[in-house]
A and B are shown apart, each in its own frame.
Chain A
Amino acid sequence: MNKTLLLIKHEFLNTVRRKAFIILTLAFPLIALLAILAGQVLPGVIKTTTTIEKIGYVDQVGLFTQNTTGNNIQLIPYTTEAAAKTALEQKVVAEYFVIPANYISTGSIQIYTLTSEIAPSATVQSGISDFLMNNLLKGNSTEIIARAKNPLNITSTTLTASGEPAAKQGGFSAFILPYLFSVLLMLAIFTSSGYLLQGLGEEKENRVMEILLSSISPRQLLSGKVLGLGAAGLVQIVVWLISANFLLRMASASWGSVLGSLQITPEFLILGIVYFILGYLIMAILMAGVGSISPTARESQQLSVIFIMPVIIPIYFMPLIMENSENIVVKILTFFPLTAPITVMVRSGLSEIPLWELAVSIGILILSVWGLFILTTKLFRTYLLMYGKRPDFNEIVRSFRES
């Protein structure tokens, strides 16, 4: 078998067998699954408390007399606060509230209970609110009362310049998936390139490097490592994507209003995978370069932060990206190879990215990957066997020129 292939296989198997990798890969689908199951089970658990609660009230306005039962509570009027308090003490009622004479102008209600609580339970609150609303609006038809309780159901439609509804409607549900996915993408890129860095550091520290280099060339070593670990990262991303698709369908049953409209479109899938591959490649090659010039794994970890920071930058610019995708900063973030993957992922959820922008962004990424690969192979040759000393910047530049 070709030596590069052997190396790819070795690195791939070594990575996917790591406990940390397996845990990370399965953690997201599992957490999501638990959340969905909780969404289906919890309402059932909560609804079991169907006992009707008796609540006393004192009406100092003289308006609230009707609709005293409903929504799992029963309201018992008392003429004075003292009577209500006695009823509470004798546990005839669980709590009582006072509608003060100035209620119409202030809207304030005082509730008295025996047990202390952070806030009255949702059942009690909505029960009281319904009771007040019904009495305030009495004389109107039930339809109007129902509408007054829920007056605004927004559906917004983005129109294109020609007045047609746009293909991408934006909004929360369209945005959340790219957002979540860009975080996962970042995680996958960091995990696999991190393994690369760690692996190189270990091989330097445990001195396997020299045996490897006596069998294979630095170029084979670099491409084998980058591709092997990348394949492992790709497996991770694919597992997440497949499970996301599956979980979303499950989720629409319980979290329907929020997630029901979420869909993983084929374009999104392709963009995600293309940007994972390119983003990973550039990161992995940079990490390999860092690993080759650092004497220990620990030192290389510190040095790698320089390259990890730019990848995270788009997250800080999130509000700008969301509000104004025409902004020059957003364009720069789309084109700069380290920030491109996350920026494009986030943007893809919000609006159509012009095709030329995607082409430029991907083109720059591919060129950077190629250029960095050539430079890093040279670094590999020069510094892989240097232990204990990190070359300074001038030395690195010189070694590029010499080789």
Chain B
Amino acid sequence: MFSIEVNHIFKTYGTRPAVDDVSFDVNQGEIFGLIGPNGAGKTTTIRMMMDIIKPDSGDIKIMGEKLNDNSKNKIGYLPEERGLYKKMSVMDTIIYFASLKGVDSQLARQRGEELLKRADLLPHQNKRIEELSRGMSQIIQVIITVIHEPDLIILDEPFSGLDPVNTQLLKDLIRDLKNKGKTIIMSTHLMNDIEELCDRLLMINKGRAVLYGSLAEVKANYRNNAVLVETTGALGTIEGVLEQRPHNGAVELKLDAKTTPQMLLERLVQKGIVVNRFELSTPSLTEIFIKVAGNEHE
């Protein structure tokens, strides 16, 4: 069963289409990336999934049915716009939001303590939200998102504003949740996060779906005929190489259509060049995105 099925949704604000015929499915137990530049329609899509705004047309099924009170309790949602009641204490905040998801206060306190401990925030549990740093309150929000142990977790730009330590903490948490069989959808404009975590992805640009599939598929489709090599000594000119480009301490070699990476390796060996590293160069999502968005533009 799909965790989420989105069928041909449209949403227009004024005359500008914010989401324009987007469809996708999310499998149970996977990390699904929703990527695209700022203003692409990611948040609007998520808000429609959460039934916070209604699509103009199209339909969305969550866990096989339309979103209802019961299924709302099985979803954890971290909105892009962050905020909490400033005057409430950390623990009261956690308990209150947990109660709105149907968790009784005793259980919420117990889970809250565990999660706070994990994030090293337990000593702050009686502080008011306004006394916390921005990063800390963002972690509290993540805790609120998962306190009711939802089956489906939707994170809108989860890493924005986090320092490296908290980013790592959150990444570990996301992997943990996946290992527990939870489905996770995260939106981001930072492609690196997706490359590291996601199984499948949907890329939207200007409200339209432009790429959809597993990370490996997407990358394979956009593979360019190039290799990364690290050698001792200079390379010189090599037959079949169109272009040499330094790339993170190595050199990226673009090959012409007649040359395969295997042929290049043989040529390097024949020339007596010591090869320390030899790998197929796959484009980063950023490069793919720029390519796709660029094509769209034309």
Contacts and interface: CB of A to CB of B under 8 A. Distances in A.
Given A213-B50, A216-B100, A385-B53, A206 B85 contact: yes
Among A1, A210, A211, A214: residue with most chain B CB under 10 A: A214
Interface in B75-89: 75, 77, 79, 81-86
Given A213-B50, A385-B53, A207 B99 contact: no
B98 to A, nearest CB: 10
Among B47, B73, B81, B82: residue with most chain A CB under 10 A: B81
B97 interface: yes
B52 A213 contact: yes
Contact of A211 (B69, B97, B99, B102): B97
Given A1-B99, A3-B100, A207-B79, A214 B50 contact: yes
B100 A6 contact: yes
A214 B77 contact: yes
Interface string A1-44: 10100110010000000000000000000000000000000000
Nearest to A384: B52
B79 A211 contact: yes
A265 interface: no
A211 B75 contact: no
B102 to A, nearest CB: 8
B144 A211 contact: yes
Nearest to A207: B83
Main secondary structure of the interface of B (DSSP, over half): loop
Contacts of A6: 99-100
B72 interface: yes
Interface in B218-269: none
A210 B100 contact: no
A215 B82 CA distance: 16
A212 interface: yes
B101 interface: yes
B81 A214 contact: no
A213 B82 CA distance: 14
B24 interface: no
A202 B144 CA distance: 19
Contacts of B99: 1, 6
Given A213-B52, A214-B50, A214-B72, A206 B97 contact: no
Contacts of A217: 69
A211 B141 CA distance: 9
A215 B52 CA distance: 10
A210 B84 contact: no
Contacts of A3: 69, 100, 102
A187 interface: no
A208 interface: yes
B94 to A, nearest CB: 12
Contacts of B77: 210-211, 214
B278 interface: no
B212 interface: no
A215 to B, nearest CB: 4
Interface of B: 47, 50, 52-54, 69, 72-73, 75, 77, 79, 81-86, 96-97, 99-102, 141, 144
8 contacts: A3-B102, A10-B96, A202-B85, A205-B83, A206-B85, A213-B50, A215-B73, A387-B81
Given A10-B96, A206-B84, A211-B79, 18 more contacts: A1-B99, A6-B100, A206-B85, A206-B86, A207-B79, A207-B82, A208-B83, A208-B85, A210-B47, A210-B52, A210-B79, A212-B100, A214-B50, A214-B77, A214-B79, A215-B101, A385-B52, A385-B53
The 10 closest A-B pairs by CB, nearest first: A207-B83, A206-B83, A210-B79, A207-B81, A214-B77, A215-B100, A213-B52, A214-B50, A208-B83, A6-B99
